[in-house]
Amino acid sequence: MTGQHYSAPAWLPGGHAQTIWPRLIKGPAPDYRRERWETPDADFIDLDWITGAPGAPCVVLFHGLEGSSDSHYARRLMHATARRGWHGVVVHFRGCSGEPNRLPRAYHSGDSQEIDWILRRLRAYGCPALFAAGVSLGGNALLKWLAEQGNHALDLVNAAASVSAPLDLAAANAALSSGFNLVYARHFLHTLIPAAVAKERRFPGRIDIRRAQAARTLRDFDDAVTAPLHGFLGADDYYARSSAGPLLGSVQVPTLLLHAANDPFLPAAALPRREHLPATVTMEIHRYGGHVGFVHGALPGRIDWLPQRLLAHFDAHLPSPPSA
- Encode pLDDT of 282-291 as tens digits: 999 999 999 9
- Is the pLDDT at 1 greater than 80? The verdict is no
Residue 135 has pLDDT above 50, yes or no: yes
What pLDDT score does 4 carry?
77
Give the residue numbers marked as catalytic. 136, 263, 291
Helix H segments across the chain? 15-20, 72-83, 112-123, 137-149, 169-175, 182-202, 209-214, 218-221, 227-229, 235-242, 305-315
Q: How confident is the model at residue 322 (pLDDT cuts 50, 70, 90)?
A: low
Q: Tens digit of pLDDT for each residue in 16-59?
A: 999 999 999 999 999 999 999 999 999 999 999 999 999 999 99
Report pLDDT digits (tens) over 296-318.
Answer: 999 999 999 999 999 999 999 99
Q: Is the pLDDT of residue 242 over 60?
A: yes
CA distance 122 to 84: 19
Q: Tell me: pLDDT of 129 over 80.
A: yes
- Report the pLDDT value the prediction gives residue 320, as an integer from 0 to 100: 79
Distance (Å) of CA 103 to CA 41, 152, 217: 9, 30, 25
> In the predicted model, is pLDDT for residue 324 greater than 70?
no
Span 212-224, pLDDT tens digits: 999 999 999 999 9
pLDDT averaged over every residue in the chain? 96
Mean local confidence (pLDDT), 75-83 = 98
Does 254 score more than 50 pLDDT?
A: yes
User: What is the pLDDT, as a whole number, of residue 2?
Assistant: 37
Please list the residues that pair with 37 across neighbouring strands: 45
Whether pLDDT at 159 is above 50: yes
Work out whether strand 159-163 and strand 130-135 pair parallel, antiparallel, or are unpaired. Answer: parallel
Report all structural domains of the chain as residue ranges with CATH numbers, in order of start: 15-167+244-315 (3.40.50.1820), 169-242 (no CATH)
Q: Which helix (H) or strand (E) holds 65?
A: none
Q: What is the pLDDT of residue 126?
A: 87
